[in-house]
Amino acid sequence: MDSTYKIYNLNFTDFNLNESQFDHPSRLHGILHTYRVMLHTLRLGLMKEAIKEARLAFYAAYIHDMSRKHDGYCTQHGADSANFKLPVYRELFLKNGATENELLIIGKAVTLHSTNTELPKQDPDWLTVAILKDADALDRIRLGTSDLNPSFLRLEESHQCIHYGVELYERTHGTPYDDFPDIIKY
């Protein structure tokens, strides 16, 4: 495992996924996509020197698409994941360092990730939500080379990660990663 991410003090093997965790198992919004989004949250946190916010975005990334019912456009799956999956994974997040109050921020980020709603920058949770939304957007390359529109990225650091996002996708799509620590090498 890459020691770069030790600063997060997370037990990454606790965050392994399997298809049974998803309401709609999918190659498009499933395990590999989720792992890439999780990794993007960690990288963005290091680049922004926003470890706390990135940890919360990491937890949110873990459940962000679990309640999808289909692969099409959907603004409801974030709220559904916050309402139905966050309670299931509450203890996992608490065991890995989240607080009860932070569970609310995780739920907010998960809910907003699938909407066009943008928090004002003065909102104390803006950075957590922005990290999750940008991390998710950085994996849009899986939908086609022109599907990632840099003008929708919120963070300057996210623009610096576009090339990495393409490389990460090319190295990981269609591969049988069994656990998150396998993908964190990239």
Instruction: Give Cα 136 distance to the centre of its chain.
Output: 6
Average pLDDT of the chain is 94
Contacts of 176 (CB under 8 A, 6+ apart): none
User: Domain 3-7+22-183 in CATH: superfamily?
Assistant: Hypothetical protein af1432 (1.10.3210.10)
The reported pTM is: 0.95
The residue ranking higher by pLDDT, 178 or 49, is 49
149, pLDDT greater than 50? yes
Q: Please report the pLDDT score of residue 139 as a whole number.
A: 96
59, pLDDT greater than 90? yes
Cα–Cα distance measured from residue 36 to residue 184, given in angstroms and rounded to the nearest whole number: 9
**What residue spans define the domains of the chain?**
3-7+22-183
**CA end-to-end distance (rounded Å), the chain:** 10
Using pLDDT thresholds of 50, 70 and 90, give the confidence band for residue 186: low
3, pLDDT greater than 70? yes
